[in-house]
Amino acid sequence: MAMRQEKDTLGFVKVPASAYFGAQTARAVANFPISGLKPHPALVWATVLIKKCAARANMATGRLPREIGDAVLSAADEILAGRLADQFVVDPFQAGAGTSHNMNVNEVLANRAAELLGGSRGVYDRVHPNDHVNMAQSTNDVFPTALRLACLRLTEEFLPALALLRDALGRKGEEFDTILKSGRTHLQDAVPIRLGQEFAAYALAIDKNLQGVERALPELRELGLGGTAVGTGLNAEDRYIDLVIAELARESGFPLVRGRDLVERMENMDPFVALSSALKGTAVNLIRIANDLRLLASGPRTGFDEISLPALQPGSSIMPGKVNPSMAELTDMVAFQVIGCDTVVTMAAQAGQLELNVMMPVIAFNLLSSLTILSNAVRKLATSCIDGIVAHPDQCRRYLDDSLGLATVLAPYIGYAAAAEIAKEAVRNGKSIRETVLEKGILSDERLTALLEPMSLTTPGVPGKH
């Protein structure tokens, strides 16, 4: 591979001749060969957008020469359009609060801008990564701002996916509303419920998760950009700060505002903790729903078999005809990963010291990963699983008619202890509650039929009393 030689403050560094990145990125690649992964595309987008808006703001204040600024803007637009994506190469696991990522972006923009001005890559006399592209900025205010923007962008994709799942569950709640079945608590027989009520409850739970994510967004829109190294704003004019945030709001479409205290915006990671926590809460509910679906669809001959999930692929390499609940299992695994990511975000957020949290790269890696995989998973769960669920009303009714939970209906009339005896006797004799009550002559057939009318047992009230 052809190489060029660049010099930074530590000395000379070999850089691939064709690369748009420079010495500091090359050092980072050599120092941090950890995961083999590249930065999240949303983080690259956000960082480049910040550089573009900073260049425009610095031109407006007169600090950045227009010729250089225009070249940086053109280079940024090329990258935002999808070019040079392979030039952002620093592993997400890196030191320095994201300095390597920030310099990767600075160097690519500087080299491309220099080319546009007739210069060569690796020669920074026309456009310099620090002096021009990073003007009035520090990694310490750029990186947390970029992470905020990336989170906002990915949340724009996640919320519609979550709404899609909520609506799919809600439709099944309506479709299954007249299907009666036995409720189960502790996985034991309980009082009747409608299958539609179960799905309606799932839909409401997801809607509450959606609202929880939305509640985390306002803090992400309050930026610390302009705080530079420690939040005091050294080397950043006050007018620049207002201009760059206004430019970011215009370019991104997000209602961004200047932070009330730039030091606080830099030190504290609580906006990311809040969003991650909301994602974890969503994951917890998804696990519960997915596991319910797996249980309700278990069988088909030796399980509940109250519903069928869509058959997506053969389920076994050895057992012919076996079909597994693939999307429910996939959802579980994604949700487990999101919960793990939240733990990392929490640990990293509390690890900040004094004016800076140097663990921001691992917060970014885990939070953006959670948003990405969760968005994809809930969309697939909705379209490839929930939409295609089929209920088995006859099977549901068989379990209901045989459920010992129906003894609960008798308690207001014969007392708890007597109703418990009826249930135990039904178990001993292998008979239903109805059969046992009629055999013992406790209630007439007509009275018992009225009390055990299933639909009335799934709404508030005491059966048989009006």
- What is the rounded distance in angstroms from the CA atom of residue 4 to the CA atom of residue 279? 45
With the CA atoms of 128, 132, 133 and 135 taken in that order, what torsion angle do they form, in degrees rounded to the nearest 10? 140
Specify whether the CB–CB gap between 335 and 284 falls below 8 A: yes
Chain-centre distance for alpha carbon 379: 12
- Catalytic pick from 18, 35, 120, 316? 316
Structure tokens at 345: 């975000």
Question: 3 forms bridges with which residues in the sheet?
Answer: 16
The DSSP code sequence of 139-204 is HHHHHHHHHHHHHHHHHHHHHHHHHHHHHHHHHHHHHTTT-EEEEEETTEEEEEEEHHHHHHHHHH
- What 342-351 contacts at long range (C-beta under 8 Å, 24+ apart), as own/partner pairs, is 342/276, 342/277, 342/279, 342/280, 342/283, 342/366, 342/370, 345/269, 345/272, 345/273, 345/276, 346/273, 346/276, 348/269, 349/269, 349/270, 349/272, 349/273
> Given phi > 0 = left and psi -120 to 50 = alpha, else beta, which region is 330?
alpha
- Residue 133 CA: distances (Å) to CA of 54, 60, 124, 342: 8, 15, 11, 33
- What 456-460 contacts at long range (C-beta under 8 Å, 24+ apart), as own/partner pairs, is 457/191, 457/192, 457/409, 458/180, 458/192, 458/193, 458/194, 458/197
SS3 116: helix
- What is the rounded distance in angstroms from the CA atom of residue 144 to the CA atom of residue 121? 29
Beta-strand runs (E) in 340-405: 390-391
Chain-centre distance for alpha carbon 69: 36
Which residue, 271, 257, 270, 272, is CA-closest to 224? Answer: 257
- Judge whether 444 counts as a catalytic residue: no
Active site residues: 316
